Structure 1
Amino acid sequence: MTQLRADVTRFLNDRLDWNLLRTFLVIMQERSVSRAAARLHLTQPAVSQALKRLEDTLGRNLIQRRGPHFEPTRAGEEVYRIASDIYGHMSRLETELDDRSDDITGSIRLLSVSRIDSGVYDEFLAEFHKTYPRVDLQIEVMRSSDIISSLLQKTATAGLGLCRTPVDKLEQRCFLRQRYALFCGRHHRLFGRHALSIDQLLAENFVSFTSDQIGDSLSPLTVFRDQRGFTGRIVAASPSLDEVRRLIFAGYGIGCLPEHIVRDDLAQQRLWRLPPEEGLVDVDIDLLWLRARKMNAAEQAFLDGMERTMQRYALPERLAPR
Structure 2
Amino acid sequence: MSDQEIPAREPSWQSRRLLSDRLDWNLLRTFLVIGEEKSISRAAARLFLTQSAVSQSLKRLEEQLECALILRRGPRFDLSPAGEEVLRLAEEIYGNVSRLAATAKNPQDDVVGKVRILTISQVQSDLYDDFLIQLHRDHPRVELEIEVMRSADIQSSLNQKTATIGLGLCRFPQTKLERRRLLRQRYAFFCGKRHRLFGQRRLPLEALQGENFVSFTSDQLGGNLSPLTMFRDQQGFTGKIVASSSSFEEIRRLIIAGYGVGCLPEHLVDIDLHNGLIWRLPPAEGVVDVDVFLMWNREQRMNHAETVFLDSFRRLLEAAGEE
- Structure 1 length normalisation: TM-score? 0.65
Contact 1:169 1:292 in 2 (8 A): yes
Q: Which residue of 1 is the match for residue 262 of structure 2? A: 255
Q: Which residue of 2 is the match for residue 308 of structure 1? A: 315
Q: CA deviation at 1:309?
A: 2.1
Q: Which residue of 1 is the match for residue 236 of structure 2? A: 229
Q: How does 1:279-294 map to 2 (within 5 A)?
A: 279-294=286-301
Which of 234, 239, 251 is the matching residue for 2:246? 239
Contact 1:102 1:131 in 2 (8 A): no
Q: Indicate yes or no: 2:185 matched with 1:178.
A: yes
Distance 2:131 2:108 in 1: 15
Contact 1:196 1:275 in 2 (8 A): yes
Distance 1:101 1:213 in 2: 51
Distance 2:163 2:143 in 1: 13
Q: What is the one-letter code of the residue matched to 1:204?
A: E
Which of 93, 107, 111 is the matching residue for 1:104? 111
Q: Indicate yes or no: 2:150 matched with 1:157.
A: no
Q: How does 1:47-86 map to 2 (within 5 A)?
A: none
Q: How does 1:78-157 map to 2 (within 5 A)?
A: 102-157=109-164
Q: Indicate yes or no: 2:269 matched with 1:276.
A: no
**Cα RMSD after superposing both structures:** 1.4
Cα 1:119/1:239, change in 2 over 3 Å: same
Contact 1:176 1:284 in 2 (8 A): yes
Distance 1:206 1:279 in 2: 16
Number of aligned residue pairs: give it: 216
Cα 1:126/1:101, change in 2 over 3 Å: farther
Question: SS at the partner of 1:222?
Answer: helix
User: Structure 2: which 5+ runs fail to align?
Assistant: 1-106
Give every structure 1 segment of 4 or more consecutive aligned residues whose post-TM-superposition deviation is greater than 4 Å: none
Identity %: 59
Question: SS at the partner of 2:155?
Answer: helix
Q: CA deviation at 1:203?
A: 0.7
Q: CA deviation at 1:269?
A: 1.5
Distance 2:233 2:109 in 1: 54
Distance 1:115 1:245 in 2: 12
Q: Which residue of 1 is the match for residue 43 of structure 2? A: none
Q: CA deviation at 1:311?
A: 2.2
Q: CA deviation at 1:139?
A: 0.8
Q: What is the one-letter code of the residue matched to 1:133?
A: P
Distance 1:126 1:197 in 2: 45
User: Structure 1: which 5+ runs fail to align?
Assistant: 1-99, 316-322
- Structure 2 length normalisation: TM-score? 0.65
Question: SS at the partner of 2:269?
Answer: helix
Cα 1:259/1:101, change in 2 over 3 Å: farther
Choose between structure 1 and 2 for higher RCO, CA contacts under 8 A separated by at least 6 residues. 1
Q: CA deviation at 1:266?
A: 1.3
